[in-house]
Amino acid sequence: MRKITTLIAFSILLIGCKNDKNSEDSENEAKTEIAENTTPNEMESDSTEIEITPISHATAVFKWGDKVFYTDPVGGAQAFEGMQKPDFILITDIHGDHMDAETLQALNLGETKILVPDAVQKKLPEEMQENLVVINNGDSKEFMGFTVRAIPMYNLPQTKDAMHVKGRGNGYVLEKNGERLYISGDTEDIPEMRDLKNIDIALVSMNLPYTMPVDQAAEGVLAFKPKKVIPYHYRGKDGFSDVEKFKTLVNEGDKDIQVELMEWYPEKDKS
């Protein structure tokens, strides 16, 4: 599996020079050295970098500072070969492309905590219950240096027979050191997503008939204006959503939103 990483860095910290007759020259030398030795995605920063490694579909490994967490781990332990062990895990929903007890057990998690909505907690086996931390829509928890907030995820219009009903699954907003990451889960462009503020990185789903089409996803993103958006979970019933079209629509609406396309389906290139 090819590792793809996204980094977010905010402000460059320059080391102050001594206040003497050579201070101006020293400052210029420091700026030149940083410019020559820094790539656009690897900048010296006074804030934390977030590295995202796609595994497949909705499954990813995140490294944020000194913590590693997985989202919706499926695919067995072999899907995570070479990855660091997680400090914690987030699960969004009860469907098999998000919740897989066999994968969780194969990862030999020990006492690693798994943050889940109540519906997921009820589906996982008894021997895993001590690992589970229940967090439901609207809840926030301070956890391992993060603020974790559970965001609703659901289909529109709201019906009792919808594939994703409001209140069952979670999207998540994680915040640390002033940086905010949004993981949408299986949702359409619901008001709770449109009302998000100050999101630095957003992972947004788009696949029919399970979540939403590309144009609807773009409209939702343009409403809450994250600094960067990454389409994920884009394999639908009839194939893959057009993420290039999504990128075009977003940038036509707001050129300042960075759209990053990652390889979530390595098997697609082998078919």
93-141 residue pLDDT tens: 999 899 999 999 999 999 999 999 999 999 999 999 999 999 999 999 9
Decide: helix, strand or coil at residue 196: coil
From the list 232, 66, 255, the residue with the least C-alpha distance to 145 is 66
Burial, 135: exposed, middle or buried (Cβ in 10 Å; 0-12, 13-18, 19+)?
buried
pLDDT digits (tens, 9 = 90+) for 7-50: 444 333 333 433 443 444 444 443 333 333 333 333 233 345 89
Total number of domains in the chain: 1
Q: Is residue 163 part of a domain?
A: yes
Burial, 150: exposed, middle or buried (Cβ in 10 Å; 0-12, 13-18, 19+)?
buried
Find the CATH number of the domain harbouring 126: 3.60.15.10
Q: Is residue 165 part of a domain?
A: yes
Q: How many CB atoms are located within 10 Å of the residue 103 CB?
A: 19
Q: Is residue 179 part of a domain?
A: yes
Q: Is residue 246 part of a domain?
A: yes
Q: Is residue 41 part of a domain?
A: no
Residue 177, domain extent: 116-265
**CA torsion sign, 180 to 116 to 103 to 67?**
positive
Q: Is residue 75 part of a domain?
A: no
Q: Is residue 229 part of a domain?
A: yes
- pTM (two decimals): 0.82
Percentage of residues of the chain with pLDDT beyond 70 = 81
Q: Is residue 65 part of a domain?
A: no
